[in-house]
Amino acid sequence: MRMTLRAALLLGAMVGTVTLPIEEAHALEKGKGKTESQKSKALPVIQKGKGKAAAQKDKVESVARTNSSRSSRSKGKVEPIAGKDKALSPTRHGMAAPLAHKDKSGVRVTAKSARVARIGKYASPEASGGLTHSFQKKNLTRVLAGHVDLWQDPGRLAVQSGSALVIAQDSGEPLYEKNANAIVPVASITKLMTAMVVLDSMPNLQSPITISDEDVDYLRGSRSRLGVGSVITRETALLLALMSSENRAANALGRHYPGGLPAFVAAMNRKAASLGMSSSHFEDPTGLNSNNVSTAHDLARMVAAAHHYPLIREFSTTPGVRTEVKGRELDFHNTNQLVSSPTWEIGLSKTGYIQEAGKCLVMQARVADKPVVIVLLDSAGKQTRIGDANRIKRWMESASVTGKLPTRV
């Protein structure tokens, strides 16, 4: 009995020993399974995060490829940036968009501002959404607004010359005047008085006169193609003095006057007085002397008087001539370009210039079917006096079309 009990105890111990490892093994396996289960449970999370990272990486790479593709396409399209025709290379700079750079003025320009600058300067209206068109329209409107000729309003006339006068030749009524009583140097407008005094003496126009050293301009050094010793007729000298404002020809005419140059200058001042030119004074026949002075009102009287001389009308409006001087044929041209204009009907013309007088122009012309005398003195620039004459003409023509007489200003 005892033996049986001991055997049973021994067998139970052996069984317990075996069972314990099995249970431990089962527990361990169960724990391992749980750990692996947790691990496997956590694994999708990690893989999911890895998938997001991969997706982000793919997205970045896709964006990079897109930018690279855009850059490659833009590389084939040349757009001037800051004066350069070459686009920035994305492989060189590592970026598709250009970095901030400097334009020609040295100002830093970002890619965005550079693009805006290109749109404003180069892009078509379609490409820039009409931006260029609006810029151009705005600028055009501003230009037109700033340059509308004021002659469209008969009461307003923008004349740039320092002194100006427009009178109706038939009535003598002033239509426009600006500083018309200012006493100013008149330069070669003087030669109209010279021509009248010469013709009043009724000389032989075909008689020869000689250009001498006394006729050379040592005061201002003006040039002349009538060399000392040249022999021309008095008629040719008168033509060149009026048409081309030849100083040596004008001085020679005065010097060959009976009694010489002093008598001639005295005759000029007597003629001025007889015409009622009370504010005028002459000291030489050329106008090179700045002491030859007058007013716009006085010069309008002189122009009206000179218009009565057929030769002065003809010679002062001749566009050009070819004449022989010392065995050579030389071309001379009129100093007033308007005499060749088909839009002008000019009956008498004379220009003048010395530094003290500025650019000067006097004319008798038919404007809007009315004979007028135009006097423009002290103009600055080569074309100011011509521009003023054209403005006056349009002003009068506009008033004629609207049926309104030009308002005296």
Q: Which residues are catalytic?
A: 188, 191, 245
Report residue 183 as tokens: 């006493």
Q: How far is CA 97 from the centre of its chain?
A: 37
* Neighbour-count burial for 276-297, b at 16+ CB within 10 Å, e otherwise: ebebbebebbbbbbbebbbbbb
Q: Tell me the sheet residues that pair with 331.
A: 322
Cβ-in-10-Å burial (0-12, 13-18, 19+) of 332 comes to buried
Going by C-alpha positions, the residue among 123, 179, 234, 92 that lies closest to residue 376 is: 179
> 200 near 271, Cβ under 8 Å?
yes
Which one-letter DSSP state was computed for residue 197?
H
Handedness of CA 119, 120, 126, 128 (dihedral sign): positive
> 294 near 277, Cβ under 8 Å?
yes
Torsion of CA 172, 173, 175, 176, to 10 degrees: 80
Please give the Cα distance from 131 to 152 (Å, whole number): 33
Q: Tell me the sheet residues that pair with 281.
A: 293
Is the backbone of residue 176 left (phi > 0), alpha (psi -120 to 50) or beta?
Answer: beta
Q: What angle do CA 196, 220, 385 make, to 5 degrees?
A: 60
Please give the Cα distance from 332 to 338 (Å, whole number): 16
Q: Tell me the sheet residues that pair with 365.
A: 346, 372
Helix (H, G, I), strand (E, B) or coil at 209: strand
Is the backbone of residue 86 left (phi > 0), alpha (psi -120 to 50) or beta?
Answer: beta
Tell me how far CA of residue 266 lies from CA of 197, 215, 281, 285, in angstroms.
10, 18, 10, 11
Q: Torsions phi, psi of 381, nearest 5?
A: 85, 160
Report residue 223 as tokens: 């040039």
